[in-house]
Chains A and B, each alone.
Chain A
Amino acid sequence: MTSPAPLLEATGVIKRFGPLLANDVAAFAVNAGEVVALLGENGAGKSTLCKILYGYYRPDAGQFAVAGRPTTILSPRAARRLGIGMVFQNFSLIPALSVWENVALFLDDLPWVIRPGKLGRRIKRLAERLRLSVDLRLPVGRLAVGDRQKVEILKQLLAGARVLILDEPTKVLAPQEADGLFRTFATLREEGYGLIFITHKLREVMACADRVAVMRQGRIVGTVSRQEANEANLLRLMFGDSSPLQSRPSRAPETAPGEMVLELEQIATAADVGTVVLRDLSFGIRGGEIVGVAGVSGNGQRELAEIILGLRRPKSGVKRLWGENATGWSVARIRARGVASVPEDPLSLAMIPALTVRENLVLGSGRRYRRGLGLDWRRLVTDMDKSAARLRFPPLSYGARAAVLSGGNQQRIVLTRELAQNPKLIVALYPTRGLDTRSAEALRTLLGEARAAGSAVLLVSEDLDELFAVSDRLIVLRDGRIAGTFLPESFHTDAVGLSMVGAANAA
């Protein structure tokens, strides 16, 4: 197909942040009816490029053309007028307002007197055509993440976007939801929209992109059409010649299992606004074992972790840690006994943005670093340096405020802290989210090492490949119940996936 001019075209884009050359892109374009994937490691400059295209950052140099006409993109507002829309990683929705109100807020042509019915029909028509249906009257705060993303996309399209940029759209989605998103991509492509999306997952690229632009160190090092793309050449482009080997932690040999670390017996929780009710949940984890928890997000994963960590009390049932009844233990006591936690959203659940990295690292360590009235900072730094080195993280900047770090680095701070004291039970929710391929590999290796050292690991993830690679046993959560238990010999995407969405026989 010979299309006329590309929908959006950028040439010679240069962007520096102080001494750092964040972007040096010779040429980048998206055509009508095309899905372009931006692939690359953390810090390769994907987000920066997208934010420049949306007018969020102003480049130091660069020419832009929309549908062949040269233009400048000085602000997001200007970008929207040019028909460019962007869905950020952290959505910009107002939780207390309903879906249609959120969409309405974004429209430039909003009349003085809003007629909800008329606007609602307009949204609905578009939503049905693009298979983005959500209940327009619900407050956004009560929607699942996947639905919020739909609202973001609807909002942009209704405001007239022809080019849609999505920053890591699948990061927050379960596999099934991601497939739904890719179907939406296909519909949009047929309608002649141009799509750009950021990812660092090869599988997603293969699933839905027409063209893949691979970025490394701020440059586009190669653009590959889908027909030419395969894992090997993409990996080589991403990492240069030193592509990381797929070093999966070796599975523990079939030896005598360790002592029972965590045991849940018929745990049930009371109904509460905004939470999933756990029902009749029973399972155990032994030392030297990694138990994976699969499930579409929002099926009780968070609640399960909160029960284990002592943040939530069960209505009935018993929780045992190392054989002792720990149902009523405080968070501090549970942590002091060697339970580490990596929550799903590090910035809001595991760190204090206003405090420094150093201060964040010492919190939650109980009595360990107490010295007089204050704290033994020197010993802390020694321990944390060691922990970071073990995780193959670059050195930490202790004096920086946590708020200014990137999402990946915030995750690193949490992991460094939580894994520093050789925990005996690790409860990790989506720990590799936001980490690049190499760091994610290092973390999986570390979980394997922790298992070899006799620790128990509960790994909640939405990445089935990851779960299959490291788990000794897999449980599937659906509607707050265990919908299935799988052993390595039965790790198949089809079977586990079916169990997640509820069509398989409950085990």
Chain B
Amino acid sequence: MPRELALALRSPTALAMRHRLPRAIVVALVALAVFAVVLLVDGKDPLRAYRDTLVYIFGNTYGFSELLVRMTPLLLTSIAVALPSRLGLINVGGEGQLYMGAWLATAGALDFPDLPSWLLLPLMTAFGFAGGALWAFLPGLMRAAKLVNETISTLLLNYIAPLIVSFFIFGPWRSPESSSYPQSPAFVEAARLPALGSTRIHLGLLFGLVCLTLYGFALNRTRWGLEMRAIGGNAEASLRLGIPVSAYIVVTMAIAGGIAGIAGMAEVSAIQGRLVAELSPGYGFVGFLVAWLAGGTAIGILAMAFLFAVVSSVGDILQITQGVPYAVINLLMAVVLFIVLGQRGPAGTSR
């Protein structure tokens, strides 16, 4: 084996992945096994259901493209969790940050409908980032001031953000075209993120991949990454070495929230084309699971986001083809969550 390859395989990232990848596969298999029992109880043939599902997902381009569509917000929301976890912070507010990003991006789309696309889309992205950033900046600030633990504050803010969205789509932004269903007016064409061909894969996937690359680079190759890992490893010593710990907490939280906000912006701009109440089927929460399982490595996030996209697609397709109720799909996610939490904590907080 060439020496470089041997070294690469022994690098901390590779080692972590060699431990985590089998673990993730076990998680997926156990989850599917438990879920098979649920299907059996419901009188369905689980093996057949799974086979049909896999054929549906991987058997044609549409099924596979939907997988990438689903993966896009997961990439962004899991970075929003993984980044603060390097500092030892637990951000469970990805969902709220996503909603705030969607909300502010919508404000951009509705207020500047006459701008050309090349100007409007960056503006909406910036707005989306700002909305999510605000929702994580506040917890970061309170944490840095030692007032409120960020886990609690981000969790609670999750309940407020959808209410703000609801307020606007029931009130000021209510679309005149449908009085029965609360939603904002449709975005102008210039406010829609371009999609790939006839699929729903959109530019948000590129955002996700760019953010992920930047995440990996910043953590491992820059001095900021080193200082972040130092704070996560020993905050007291970092303080004594003159690292501005409080500033790192506030800024990192804001950036993380901003990244989740971009996920919200991409959802309204590319998928929905307007602001709606049921914007996210829990992307923020699933992103937490993804980051937790991935152990904070960029490659791990990519793999786990894909895995979870598969799991949630399976759920959706089963709902359609097998007629299992939506609550059962929640059960599938809960089983995964249970198994994940039953294992060790995220690498960011373990030693």
Contact = CB atoms under 8 A, between A and B. Distances in A.
A355 B223 CA distance: 13
Given A355-B229, A355-B233, A373 B238 contact: no
Given A352-B238, A373-B221, A374-B221, A364 B243 contact: yes
B229 A354 contact: yes
Contact of B233 (A336, A354, A362, A374): A354
Chain B, interface SS category: helix
A363 B221 contact: no
Contacts of A370: 223
B241 interface: yes
A67 to B, nearest CB: 41
Contacts of B224: 373
A366 B240 CA distance: 12
Interface string A363-389: 110100010011100000000000000
B316 interface: no
Contacts of A362: 223, 226
A330 B244 contact: yes
A389 B236 CA distance: 29
A351 interface: yes
B351 A353 contact: yes
A149 interface: no
Nearest to A346: B237
A200 B106 CA distance: 71
Contacts of B234: 348, 351-354
Contact of A363 (B222, B227, B236, B351): B227
Contacts of B239: 311, 331
B238 A363 contact: yes
Given A354-B351, A363-B226, A374-B221, A331 B233 contact: no
B244 A350 contact: no
A332 interface: yes
B242 interface: yes
A311 B234 CA distance: 15
A363 B244 contact: no
Contact of B242 (A343, A354, A364): A364
Q: In this complex, which of B232, B236, B244, B351 has the most chain A Cβ atoms within 10 angstroms of its Cβ? A: B236
A383 to B, nearest CB: 16
B230 interface: yes
A359 B238 CA distance: 12
B345 to A, nearest CB: 14
A330 B247 CA distance: 13
Contact of A352 (B223, B237, B244): B237
Contacts of B229: 352, 354-355, 359
Nearest to A351: B237
Contacts of B237: 348-352
Contact of A374 (B223, B238, B242, B243): B223
Nearest to B224: A373
A375 B223 contact: yes
A334 interface: yes
Interface string A92-122: 0000000000000000000000000000000
A354 B230 CA distance: 8
A332 B247 CA distance: 13
B242 A334 contact: yes
A333 B243 CA distance: 10
Contacts of A348: 234, 236-237
B12 to A, nearest CB: 9
Contacts of B223: 362, 370, 373-375
Nearest to A401: B12
8 contacts: A332-B243, A350-B241, A352-B229, A353-B233, A354-B351, A362-B223, A366-B242, A374-B221
Given A349-B240, A363-B243, A403-B351, 18 more contacts: A330-B242, A332-B243, A349-B237, A350-B241, A351-B237, A353-B233, A353-B234, A354-B351, A355-B229, A355-B230, A359-B229, A359-B230, A363-B226, A363-B227, A364-B243, A374-B221, A374-B223, A375-B223
Q: Which 6 A-B pairs have the closest CB atoms?
A: A364-B241, A332-B242, A352-B233, A354-B233, A331-B242, A352-B234
Interface of A: 309, 311, 330-336, 341, 343, 348-355, 359, 362-364, 366, 370, 373-375, 403
